[in-house]
Amino acid sequence: MDLQQILNLPEVQLILPVLQTVISILLMIFPLIICVAYLTYAERKVIGYMQLRVGPNRVGPFGLLQPFADALKLMFKEIALPKKSNKVVFLIAPLMVFVPAFLAWAVIPVNGNGALANINLGVLYLLAVSSLGVYGILMAGWASNSKYAFLAAVRSGAQMVSYEVSMGLTILSVILMAGSMNLSEIVLAQKDMWYAIPAFPMFVIFIISILAETNRAPFDLPEAEAELVAGYNVEYSSMPFALFFLGEYANMILMSAMAVLLFLGGWLPPVDVAWLNWIPGFVWFVVKVCAILFIFLWARAALPRFRYDQLMRLGWKVFLPFSLIWLVLTAFVLKFMS
């Protein structure tokens, strides 16, 4: 029996679609994990150059093997469980932060061929999945049975909820302009002009909101070492700690991809000229994501940390009313133009 006859067997035909899906998922997850690992390397290099030092340069050529050395070190460290913690919730919490950051990529189209699951409500799926990370942080703070971890978890929950409101309103304005919640259609609607140009204030609000959403500097109040020791993950070690770390950086890549799809034309080139169209769409997508990620790294190196009252005032008293007014104006202009 040759290979073609084996593939035509009813049992194989039943298993084949499942096998194809599993392979597609693995082909998506493994490059993402490598990207997350090297984002930590890029961050240390960028911050090092901005602070006039070299960053990692010992492990491998130019320090390129440093992420693997860090991963190996964390794998062999002891997993310490606090004596009076809720051990089941304590161990589940890192997964609740790590897994949603990868689940969201099921609907992210990185080129014109569509996503793994090209659904019409892709934006809604992204909002729903990206919001799950806060549960992992709250679970970690509560299960640790530590007042510092719990205070940091509550602070993180309040921060993420606050900025998700303004982020959601900016996304709604994009949906109004594109007339669709399908991410591929939103990208194609920007063929003539990226939405970052007519909706530049909303683009700025979105960038600042994703900084706060991912607990990154200057909004890294949940990890304020001065008053909360080290934040919600203070009781974690070894691989559970590494999952929090990887989840944070995976969320940075995810949020950058969302910004690229919603405001920067996704895989489309800056202008529709023949010589630029020779460059694959995937390359344009990666370059734009890297540009947004550089903003994350630059902000950490250059900007001082906000006070918590300043953080909340910015979210509720500035971003929320402004984004709401912009949404109403967008709807009015689109209705007038139609």
Tens of pLDDT, residue by residue over 38-82, are 999 999 999 999 989 988 999 989 899 999 999 899 888 888 888
* Cα-based torsion angle of the residue sequence 299, 303, 305, 311 in order, rounded to the nearest 10 degrees: -70
**Alpha-carbon distance values, 231 to 211, 226, 228, 243 (Å):** 17, 10, 5, 15
Contact 182, 175 (CB under 8 A): no
The predicted pLDDT at position 211 comes to 92
The predicted pLDDT at position 3 comes to 60
The predicted pLDDT at position 5 comes to 65
Say how far apart CA 156 and CA 163 lie, in whole Å.
11
Say how far apart CA 147 and CA 232 lie, in whole Å.
10
How many Cα neighbours within 13 Å face the side chain of 36? 24
The predicted pLDDT at position 170 comes to 94
The parts of the chain modelled with pLDDT lower than 70 are 1-9, 11-13, 224-229
> What is the full DSSP assignment across 143-179?
HTT-HHHHHHHHHHHHHHHHHHHHHHHHHHHHHHHHT
The predicted pLDDT at position 174 comes to 95
SS3 279: coil
The predicted pLDDT at position 228 comes to 62
* Cα-based torsion angle of the residue sequence 135, 142, 214, 58 in order, rounded to the nearest 10 degrees: -120
The predicted pLDDT at position 224 comes to 67
Q: Which amino acid is at 58?
A: R
The predicted pLDDT at position 254 comes to 93
The predicted pLDDT at position 42 comes to 94
The predicted pLDDT at position 194 comes to 93
